[in-house]
């Protein structure tokens, strides 16, 4: 029988280095007023020297595994969604797999820019419902500060670094990750890209001098499509799950711009009070934004068992997608199920076996 996929653990890591709009304004031709009013961002985190996408992923992953009470050696698959991997290859997921001691796991990266986490969640759901694996560690992580051109004020003020992770497990429960819808429009890839440094435009002295290894974006064009595409994907994911917007307890959108988030909510006639927003503290962390937001929402008690959650994302590629899921975390959003609770059966419909801690 096909199994459902449920989230049983969550965690995040944000680097300690806080960079405010005022900090940026000291060396970029910008102001706190411009950034705040156009994007909602007040500050972001930048990785310190020595931190990178895999090291932040490991921090988030350990927290998620701990919460799920899943031992690293019992993890069967590690997926990292990222567009700022440690290397072109090996995959960042392989580095994470090794670092956390997931000795029996397969590992690979998913690259769909800011839609990477929703895409990876869809892959995890597919692997679980096909019976290929019993659990997947799904991570979204970025070190975008290393891809920013601080001479380009139209992009460098927007992005930040961080990582979020969830544990997804097979369950006999009737609900879990109920739908995932994914879309792409590759003809618009050049509107948001890193041009050089891979096989099509290999890194040369010239490409480096011209800053072609940095993120470039035509923000206005991205903005126009983001609102409509995210709203359309949300409606499609709801249709697939057989639910309506009234059923949704919380929407967790990709955090690219507060005006985009607001636009999506307005288009859907969905109240902003039920939308989770943390862009003011992290900026746009691309693949990491949704899993960081999930973990923060859980920590804040905004996710209760049985809540229907709507995830929605848009990013480079273009890519966009949405997912509807039912939340299974502990009631206070903090307490992981104990072995005793599992043994008593409180959680047995969620996770089918009792694992040693």
Q: Segment near ligand UT7 (CB under 6 A), from 34-42, 180-188, 263-271, 349-357?
A: 34-42
Min CB(38)–ligand UT7 separation in Å: 5
Cβ closer to ligand UT7: 152 or 341? 152
CA nearest 109: which of 88, 128, 130, 127?
A: 88
Residue 4 as a binder of ligand UT7 (CB under 6 A): the answer is: no
Interacting positions 65-124 with ligand UT7 (CB under 6 A): 114
Interacting positions 267-326 with ligand UT7 (CB under 6 A): 284, 286, 314-315
Helices assigned H by DSSP within 242-338: 258-268, 279-282, 289-299
* Cα–Cα dist 109/55, whole Å: 15
Angle between helices 258-268 and 32-39 (to 10 degrees): 20
Phi, psi at 17, each rounded to 5°: -80, 105
Active site residue 269: no
* Cα–Cα dist 189/178, whole Å: 29
Among the listed residues 21, 94, 254, 257, the single catalytic one is 254
Contact present, 81 and 119 (Cβ < 8 Å)? yes
Active site residue 331: no
Residue 257 as a binder of ligand UT7 (CB under 6 A): the answer is: yes
Residue 256 as a binder of ligand UT7 (CB under 6 A): the answer is: yes
Q: Which residues pair with 314 in a beta bridge?
A: 320
Select the residue whose beta carbon is closest to ligand UT7 and give its number: 219
Interacting positions 124-163 with ligand UT7 (CB under 6 A): 153-154, 157
Cβ closer to ligand UT7: 40 or 337? 40
Contact present, 59 and 163 (Cβ < 8 Å)? yes
Active site residue 83: no
Among 30, 98, 129, 338, binds ligand UT7 (CB under 6 A): 30
For residue 282 the two structure tokens come to 């992290």
For residue 205 the two structure tokens come to 């002295």
Site for ligand UT7, rule CB under 6 A:
30, 34-35, 38-39, 114, 153-154, 157, 219-220, 222-223, 226, 256-257, 260, 284, 286, 314-315
């Amino acid at each position: 029988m096909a199994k459902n996929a449920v989230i049983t653990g969550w965690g995040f890591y944000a680097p300690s280095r806080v960079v405010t709009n005022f900090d940026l304004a000291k060396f970029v031709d910008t102001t706190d007023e411009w950034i705040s009013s156009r994007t909602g961002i007040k500050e972001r985190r930048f990785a310190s020297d020595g931190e990178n996408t895999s090291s932040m992923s490991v921090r988030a992953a350990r927290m998620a595994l701990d919460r799920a009470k899943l031992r690293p050696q019992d993890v069967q698959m590690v997926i990292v969604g990222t567009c700022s991997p440690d290397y072109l290859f090996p995959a960042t997921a392989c580095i994470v797999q090794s670092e956390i001691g997931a000795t029996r796991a397969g590992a690979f990266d998913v690259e769909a820019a800011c839609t990477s986490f929703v895409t990876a969640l869809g892959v995890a759901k597919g692997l679980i419902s096909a019976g290929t694996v019993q659990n997947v560690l799904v991570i979204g992580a970025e070190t975008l500060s290393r891809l920013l051109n601080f001479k380009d004020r139209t992009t460098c003020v927007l992005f930040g670094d961080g990582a979020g992770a969830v544990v997804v497990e097979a369950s006999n429960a009737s609900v879990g990750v109920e739908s995932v819808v994914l879309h792409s429009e590759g003809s618009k890839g050049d509107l948001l890209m890193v041009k050089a440094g891979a096989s099509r435009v290999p890194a040369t002295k010239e490409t480096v001098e011209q800053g072609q290894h940095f993120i470039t974006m035509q923000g206005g064009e991205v903005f126009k499509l983001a609102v409509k595409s995210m709203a359309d994907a949300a409606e499609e994911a709801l249709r697939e799950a057989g639910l309506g917007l009234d059923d949704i307890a919380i929407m967790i959108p990709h955090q690219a711009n507060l005006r985009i988030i607001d636009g999506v909510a307005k288009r859907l006639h969905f109240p902003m009070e039920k939308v989770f927003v943390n862009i003011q503290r992290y900026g746009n962390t691309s693949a990491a934004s949704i899993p960081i937001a999930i973990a923060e929402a859980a920590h804040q008690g905004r996710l209760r068992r049985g809540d229907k959650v709507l995830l929605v994302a848009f990013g480079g590629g273009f890519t966009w997608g949405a997912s509807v899921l039912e939340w299974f975390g502990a009631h206070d959003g903090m307490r992981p199920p104990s072995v005793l609770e599992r043994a008593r059966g409180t959680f047995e419909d969620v996770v089918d076996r009792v694992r040693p801690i």
